Structure 1
Amino acid sequence: MSTTDVTTSNFETEVLNSDKPVIVDFWAEWCGPCRMVGPVLEAISDEHADSVKVVKLNVDENQEIAAKYGITSIPAVYLFDGGEVQKQSIGAKPKSALEKEFAEYLGQA
């Protein structure tokens, strides 16, 4: 399945109104740690596609959404469920750490 790019125009449909939990990767092209987290989230998306959807939102191109959720440091990985932020992780982390943080939504709890 891999990750999908979301923007201000489709954020509500793809994230807030999703029928399953959504992991949102708030990132930017110039952010080195963001590029490290990208492949980790791709792997989580592929391995847990039945449990969660994983999307990426470029904070430079979608500043309204980043501001709405108070994104001041990236990479910021937020988990939305039922249209609300349930969990958040700031900074580049290995796959095992992200899976542990979001385990209850990945069917690992």
Structure 2
Amino acid sequence: MNGEPVRVLVVDDSAFLRYTISRHLDSDNEITVVGSARDGAEALEKIALLVPDVVILDMEMPHTDSLSVLEQIMSVRAVPVILLSSPDRQAAAYTIQGLELGAVDFVLKPSA
């Protein structure tokens, strides 16, 4: 980029994961976490407000259809999206759909 840190928005329903991911990313001086969101509606608001360079989007949030959120992100402001996914068969299918909709990559969430 232009010497500026990459601006990241973290979207996950888990406050613990938002905090953990944000702290990890903020430890790199080439990355700045500009905000976080707990659901799709908040994510869309913050994308418009904060204009991140990258969005990290949880694929499994209650009361949120993450694929619809991803479609809206791609139609409004096609920012690169990295998906957070669980390591199970159903989540894998959902993640593949997300990649087909325009997400650039995915990261597996740690399993318990």
TM-score, structure 2 normalization: 0.35
Tell me which of the two structures has the higher relative contact order, counting C-alpha pairs closer than 8 angstroms and 6 or more residues apart: 1
TM-score, structure 1 normalization: 0.36
CA radius of gyration, larger in: 2
